[in-house]
C-alpha cells in the first residue's frame, strides 16, 4: 500500500508539487506508520527536511508517537483533527497549530495522512499580550470610583465595572445585556428631554462627547444625583459602534452646593436689611442735630435715614407730653 501511494505521488508529482508548493502553510504527507513521504518547501523551511523519517522525530524530537497526535486521531476516526504543539525546529522552539486529515483510497481505506503545520508563535504571543493588556485595563477600570458602562448601539450594556454594580445595586448578570435606561432610571424607554436628557442620544446627533446631570434610581428605589459623560467608540472607518457611559455620584456635592447657595442667599438678604453706622458722629448737645460730611447740621432722623435702612415714625413720649400739654394731665401726677 505504501509503495502504491509513493508511485501515485511520483506519477502526479509535478501537479502535486505545484498545488501544495503554492500553499504558504507547511505541509507534509505521512504513511500509516507516520513516516514522512513528502514535504513542501514551507514545511522543510520550518521544520527541516525529514523525508523518510518519522514525523514525531522531526517535529517534536521524540522517539515515540505523541500522545495527542492529530494524525493518529484522524487515522482512528477518519476525521480532521487539530492540536497546538510546541515544535523543536532548527530555529528554536515554536508554537505550531497542527491539523491532520486522512487520505483514503478508492475503497475508502486510509492509506496516509496530510499534516498542515502553521507557526502561530507570534499570534499566541500577541494574544497573550492582548489578554494581559485587557486584564490590566479592566483592573484599572474596576479600581475607578465612577460607574463605567460600555453600551452597544441599541443602548444595551455589554461591560460594566465594579462601581457600576455599587451605584445601581445590581449584580453583574443583571447589568450585562440590560438596557442602560432600565438599569439606571427604571425606565422602559430611552431617556428623553426635558426631564431626562439622554447624553447618548445627543452624542449621536453631534458626534462629540457630552456631559449632563441626571437623577439615577438604584435597584431599591434610592435616588442619586449623578454627572453623566458619554463618549463615542469608533471603528477604523470612524463610525460610532459603541458608547462609554461614565456616571459620577455628585449627590453629596450637590447637597453641599444647595446648602451653600441657601446660606449665601440668606446672608445677602440679611445684609440687604442691615446698614451700620460706624465711627464718631458729631451731634449737638442741645438740639441733637448731627453735622454731616459737608459740614451742615441736619435732623438726627434725616441723617440716620440716609445712612441706614431705618425709617422713622414720630410720636411724643410721656415726659414730653406733660411738658407740652400739661392741661391734659392730672396736676397730682
Q: For the domain that residue 150 is a member of, what is the CATH number?
A: 3.30.450.20
Whether residue 260 lies inside any domain: the answer is: no
> Within a domain: residue 261?
no
285 and 226, same domain (yes or no): no
- Residue-range definition of the domain harbouring residue 209: 135-252
**Do 151 and 89 sit in the same domain of this protein?**
no
Per-residue confidence of the chain (333 residues) as pLDDT tens digits?
Answer: 545 555 555 555 555 566 666 677 888 888 999 899 888 888 888 888 888 888 887 666 778 888 788 999 999 999 999 988 887 776 778 888 899 999 888 888 998 999 998 888 888 888 888 889 888 988 889 999 999 999 999 999 999 999 999 999 999 999 999 999 999 998 899 988 777 788 888 888 888 999 988 889 888 888 999 999 999 999 989 999 999 999 999 999 989 989 999 999 988 877 766 566 677 788 888 888 888 888 889 988 888 887 777 778 888 888 888 888 887 776 545
Report if pTM > 0.85: no
Q: Is residue 268 assigned to a domain? A: no
Residue 103 domain-assigned? yes
Specify whether 142 is located in the same domain as 240. yes
d(CA 230, CA 213): 12
Residues 100 and 142 in one domain: no
Residue 129 lies in a domain: no
Residue 263 located in a structural domain: no
Looking at the fold, whether 108 and 9 belong to one and the same domain comes out as yes
Of the residues 86, 119, 152, the one at which a domain ends: 119
Distance CA 244, CA 164 (A): 12
Distance CA 32, CA 100 (A): 12
Residue at a domain's end among 119, 148, 179: 119
Q: 259 lies in a domain?
A: no
Task: Identify the bridge partners of residue 114 per DSSP, sorted by sequence position.
Answer: 29, 101
Residues 6+ apart with CB under 8 A from 241: 153, 233, 234, 235
**Residue at a domain's end among 52, 85, 119:** 119
CA distance 331 to 259: 63
List the beta bridge partners of residue 225: 215
Strand pairing report for 157-160 and 290-291: unpaired
Do 234 and 284 belong together in one domain?
Answer: no
What domain count does the chain have?
Answer: 3
Is 298 within a domain? yes
Same domain, 203 and 310: no
Distances (CA, A) of 268 to 131, 256, 263, 277, 307: 59, 18, 9, 19, 18
Amino acid at each position: 500500500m505504501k509503495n502504491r501511494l509513493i508511485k501515485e505521488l511520483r506519477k502526479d508529482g509535478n501537479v502535486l508539487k505545484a498545488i501544495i508548493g503554492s500553499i504558504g502553510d507547511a505541509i507534509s504527507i505521512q504513511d500509516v506508520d507516520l513516516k514522512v513521504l513528502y514535504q513542501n518547501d514551507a514545511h522543510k523551511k520550518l521544520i527541516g527536511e525529514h523525508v523518510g523519517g518519522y514525523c514525531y522525530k522531526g517535529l517534536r524530537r521524540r522517539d515515540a508517537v505523541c500522545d495527542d497526535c492529530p494524525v493518529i486521531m484522524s487515522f482512528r476516526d477518519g476525521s480532521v483533527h487539530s492540536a497546538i504543539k510546541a515544535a523543536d525546529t532548527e530555529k528554536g522552539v515554536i508554537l505550531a497549530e497542527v491539523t491532520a486529515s486522512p487520505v483514503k483510497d478508492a475503497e475508502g481505506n486510509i492509506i496516509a495522512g496530510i499534516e498542515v503545520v502553521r507557526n502561530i508563535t507570534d499570534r499566541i504571543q500577541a494574544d497573550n499580550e492582548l489578554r494581559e493588556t485587557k486584564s490590566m485595563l479592566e483592573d484599572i477600570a474596576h479600581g475607578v470610583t465612577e460607574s463605567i458602562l460600555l453600551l452597544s448601539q441599541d443602548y444595551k450594556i455589554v461591560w460594566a465595572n465594579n462601581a457600576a454594580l455599587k451605584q445601581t445595586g445590581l449584580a453583574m448578570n443583571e447589568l450585562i445585556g440590560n438596557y442602560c435606561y432600565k438599569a439606571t432610571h427604571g425606565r422602559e424607554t430611552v431617556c428623553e428631554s426635558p426631564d431626562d436628557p439622554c447624553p447618548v442620544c445627543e452624542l449621536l446627533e453631534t458626534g462629540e462627547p457630552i456631559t449632563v446631570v441626571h437623577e439615577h434610581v438604584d435597584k431599591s428605589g434610592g435616588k442619586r444625583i449623578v454627572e453623566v459623560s458619554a463618549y463615542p467608540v469608533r471603528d477604523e472607518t470612524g463610525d460610532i459602534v459603541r458608547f462609554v457611559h461614565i456616571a459620577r455620584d455628585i449627590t453629596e456635592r450637590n447637597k453641599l452646593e444647595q446648602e451653600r447657595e441657601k446660606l449665601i442667599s440668606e446672608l445677602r438678604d440679611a445684609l440687604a436689611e442691615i446698614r451700620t453706622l460706624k465711627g464718631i458722629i458729631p451731634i449737638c448737645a442741645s438740639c441733637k442735630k448731627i453735622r454731616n460730611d459737608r459740614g451742615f447740621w441736619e435732623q438726627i432722623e434725616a441723617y440716620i435715614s440716609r445712612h441706614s435702612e431705618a425709617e422713622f415714625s414720630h410720636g411724643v413720649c410721656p415726659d414730653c407730653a406733660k411738658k407740652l400739654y400739661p392741661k391734659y394731665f392730672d396736676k397730682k401726677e
